[in-house]
Amino acid sequence: MDHIVTLDSEAKEIENLIKGGKSMIVHASDVKCIPYGLVAEGDVLYFVNDNNPAEIKAKGIVSSVYNSYQLSVAESFEMIIRNQDKLRLPDDLFYKMAGKRYLVLIGLRDVEEVQSLLINSFSNSISNWSLSA
């Protein structure tokens, strides 16, 4: 399955994935929601920035997925800390994600820049994740 994922432009998440300084992304929520349970190893993720959701900037292949069970605040913090070397979250994103009850940790490989690929924006969606079969 293909997925379109919105990442934080101020944190330069896409650039860090392309350069290899970051090899994992996280989706955190207090309830089970997309993409919980829907991402599988081998899926392709296409990345857009939150300030321009109509332009795909990069793509990568899912190398691993972990869908957490319902976590306590302490367990959630611990899981983010344990994976921070791959997540490379700046402080503001760290505190936005850590403490949430459900985490989806997605390892990535073969992340590469995509040149001039425009899509219909899904910015009206309440989610930062879109699925494409």
Give domain status of residue 63, yes or no.
Answer: yes
Q: What is the mean pLDDT of residues 79-89?
A: 98
How many folded domains does the chain comprise? 1
**Does the predicted model carry a pTM greater than 0.85?**
yes
CA-closest candidate to residue 59, choices 118, 129, 5: 5
Q: What is the pLDDT of residues 53-77, one digit of tens each?
A: 889 999 999 999 999 999 999 999 9
Domain that holds residue 12: 2-114
**CA nearest to 40, candidates 14, 18, 65:** 65
- Residue 57 located in a structural domain: yes
Helix, strand, or coil here: 41? coil
- Asked if omega into 90 is within 30° of 0 (cis), the reply is no
Average pLDDT, the chain: 90
In a domain, 97, yes or no: yes
CATH of the domain at 18: 2.30.130.30
In a domain, 53, yes or no: yes
